[in-house]
């Protein structure tokens, strides 16, 4: 499957059936039926990399702070099981977005205007990591991606600027990780922790909804 067809299948498979991320899918493959709300405790009771050992960093500049307003199996019925380990950070349009982890860019999109509230119009960057896992950065602002397909990025590198594109009801950044390029159903998102997050953490180390997090320097 080509990268562009993969991208559209990714969106069609329910990649944007998230509360603040629009509540709908991009069409094509049927979205999974909604699941009942799940408490955070039920979501984090699994094997997760301790923050001190995590290869991921927060996706914004060192010293910056943003509220994670939706994520990690939030108690929002509109999320269901879609993207259950994704994170949404509330931030103004134009905020610099930095790579969470070393990898290679395999798809980018930044054609779409902010605030058209249309599923499938999500500007973003998709990165594959050395172990075959992938991560993405969604709802970027138009014409803001600064890394080309095929580029190697290191954790902390600038990849683009936040926005409000696609199925989104407010300016924010949506990030998530998957086991592989071919495993992009939202129920297959991976729980991730961040090595430089200063703020309240769940017992297993993940971020907690409605809490602010500051990106600390990484040694």
The string of pLDDT tens digits covering residues 147-182 is: 999 999 999 999 999 999 999 999 999 999 998 988
d(CA 108, CA 106): 7
Domain of residue 67: give its range. Answer: 3-215
What value, to the nearest 5°, has the Cα angle with vertex 7 and ends 167 and 16? Answer: 25
Two tokens at 18?
Answer: 């998230």
d(CA 208, CA 89): 11
Buried b / exposed e across 27-51, counting CB within 10 Å, b at 16+?
eeeebbeeeeebebeebbeeebbeb
d(CA 88, CA 68): 6
The string of pLDDT tens digits covering residues 60-103 is: 999 999 999 998 877 765 554 557 889 999 999 999 999 999 99
For position 130, which CATH number holds? Answer: 2.70.70.10
CB 69 within 8 A of CB 213: no
Two tokens at 124?
Answer: 């973003």
Domain count, the chain: 1
């Amino acid at each position: 499957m080509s990268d562009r067809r993969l991208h559209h299948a990714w969106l069609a498979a329910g990649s944007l059936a998230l509360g603040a991320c629009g509540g709908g899918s991009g069409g094509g493959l049927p979205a999974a039926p909604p699941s009942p709300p799940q408490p955070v405790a039920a979501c984090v009771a699994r094997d997760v990399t301790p923050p001190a050992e995590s290869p991921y960093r927060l996706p914004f500049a060192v010293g910056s702070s943003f509220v994670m307003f939706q994520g990690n199996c939030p108690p929002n019925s509109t999320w269901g099981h879609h993207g259950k380990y994704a994170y949404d950070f509330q931030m103004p349009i134009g905020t610099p977005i930095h790579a969470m982890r070393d990898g290679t860019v395999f798809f980018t999109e930044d054609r779409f205007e902010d605030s058209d509230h249309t599923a499938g119009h999500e500007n973003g960057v998709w990165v594959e990591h050395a172990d075959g896992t992938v991560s993405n950065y969604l709802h970027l602002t138009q014409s803001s991606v600064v890394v080309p397909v095929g580029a190697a990025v290191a954790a902390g590198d600038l990849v683009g600027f936040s926005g409000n594109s696609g199925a989104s009801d407010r300016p924010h950044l949506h990030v998530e990780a998957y086991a592989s390029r071919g495993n992009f159903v939202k129920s297959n998102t991976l729980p991730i922790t961040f090595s430089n997050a200063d703020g309240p953490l769940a017992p297993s180390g993940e971020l907690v909804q409605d809490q602010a997090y500051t990106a600390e320097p990484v040694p």
